Structure 1
Amino acid sequence: MPPKIRDLITELEKAGFVNCGGKGSHRNFAHPRAQKPITISGKLGDDAKHYQVRAVRLALEELKK
């Protein structure tokens, strides 16, 4: 079962990403050491799409380097 959007947001915020706002259901998360912001769309209770999960995982791995 895929994680929920709220779970992805929690992971990003724990890693130090900051919500920079967005338009509609889109949220942009930025981190000073990340190359580009991560965009997460959807309601908090929705299942995350596979590309959203992958984007979050790659961003978190980038910070570990």
Structure 2
Amino acid sequence: MLLKAGFLYRSGKGSHTVWNHSLLEYGLTISGKDGSDADRYQERDVRNALRDLKQLQQEDEQ
């Protein structure tokens, strides 16, 4: 989902990954192995980041 939206990732400590997008001023840190269920707060953080990204992209189009 994040890759499809244009986020880039790098490995963090342990099973953490850090996701960044060039349009966002902040990044996301996701814990757990790829494919495992995300915690609710992580799902919320991803939804919020995707919402913020969409708003920025819409502003750029105008």
- Structures share fold, TM-score greater than 0.5: yes
Aligned counterpart, 1:60 = 50
Root mean square deviation of aligned Cα: 0.9
Aligned counterpart, 2:36 = 46
Higher relative contact order (CA 8 A, sep 6+): 1
Quote the sequence identity (%).
Answer: 51
Question: What's the TM-score once normalised by structure 1's chain length?
Answer: 0.78
Bigger radius of gyration among the two: 2
Which of the numbers 12, 15, 23 marks the counterpart of 1:33?
Answer: 23
Question: Which runs of 5 or more structure 1 residues have no equivalent in the other structure?
Answer: 1-10
Question: What's the TM-score once normalised by structure 2's chain length?
Answer: 0.81
Question: Which runs of 5 or more structure 2 residues have no equivalent in the other structure?
Answer: 56-62
**After the TM superposition, which parts of structure 1 deviate over 4 Å for at least 4 consecutive aligned residues?**
none
